[in-house]
Amino acid sequence: MAESYRLTALLKLRLRARQDAESELARAQTAQTKAQKQLEAAERFEQGCAAKLDAAKGELYGGEGLTIAIIQSREQFVKRLTAERESAAQSVLDAQRNLEQAQEVLRQANEGLVSAKTEEEALLKHKEKWLEERKIVRRRREEDEADDIAQSLWLRKK
Domains annotated on the chain, with CATH? 9-128 (1.10.287.620)
pTM metric for this prediction:
0.74
Each residue's pLDDT tens digit, 3-21: 788 999 999 999 999 999 9
In the predicted structure, residue 2 carries a pLDDT above the cut 80: no
For residues 5 and 8, give the distance between their C-alpha atoms in angstroms, rounded to a whole number: 6
Mean pLDDT along residues 121-125: 95
In the predicted structure, residue 1 carries a pLDDT above the cut 80: no
DSSP secondary structure string for all residues of 82-120: HHHHHHHHHHHHHHHHHHHHHHHHHHHHHHHHHHHHHHH
Mean pLDDT along residues 32-36: 97
pLDDT at 120: 94
Mean pLDDT along residues 52-64: 87
Would you state the torsion angle of the CA atoms of residues 17, 22, 23, 26, taken in this order, to the nearest 10 degrees? 160
Each residue's pLDDT tens digit, 139-150: 999 999 988 888
Mean pLDDT along residues 121-144: 94
